[in-house]
Amino acid sequence: MPFRITGLDPLPFLPLFARADAELAARCIQRVRVAEKPGAPCRVTLDDAEIGEEILLLSYKHQPAATAYRQQGPIFVRRSAARFDADGTIPPALARRTLSLRGFDAEGAMIEADLVDGISANELIGQMFAVENVAYIHAHYARRGCFAARIDRAL
């Protein structure tokens, strides 16, 4: 089943990089220098940030549905307008990690879930989208449980 993975829109995050550290801290956002790669998977580029690169660590509401599955959690973002957007391609940050894939219906209730090695996620994504009620899939990094990306049916 064809699918599309898209990184988060960079525009809401870019102005944050110009803010002072104290202002970011007041908003529960941390400015971080990357110490190791892989280690800081950006949710915009869907690749790991480079050693020494400045990134932001902040809380993001990735599942705003008005259900028991409503979720928010930590994400890293780079200072980049290069948003990942591709059909049928597992992006680098997802390919190098174990993923928890969670299929949601149109109302935002989780109806499918499984673990997969990121490099081989294509097959499981296809299986989940074969379930008629799965409207979209969220990928989470299985080790830490953080939101990685949203997966939609390709048009």
d(CA 147, CA 64): 13
Q: What is the pLDDT of residue 155?
A: 81
Residue 87: predicted pLDDT = 97
Quote the pLDDT of residue 138.
98
| Cα-based distances in Å from 47 to 5, 50, 52, 138 | 13, 9, 15, 17
Q: For 125-148, give one letter per residue: b (16+ CB within 10 A) or e.
A: bebbbeeeebbbbbbbbbeeebbb
Q: What is the pLDDT along the chain (155 residues), one digit of tens a residue?
A: 799 999 999 999 999 999 999 999 999 999 999 999 999 999 999 999 999 999 999 999 999 999 999 999 999 999 988 999 999 999 999 999 999 999 999 999 999 999 999 999 999 999 999 999 999 999 999 999 999 999 999 98
| Sequence-ordered list of residues with C-beta below 8 angstroms from that of 23, at least 6 positions apart, any chain | none
pLDDT at site 12: 97
pTM above 0.85, yes or no: yes
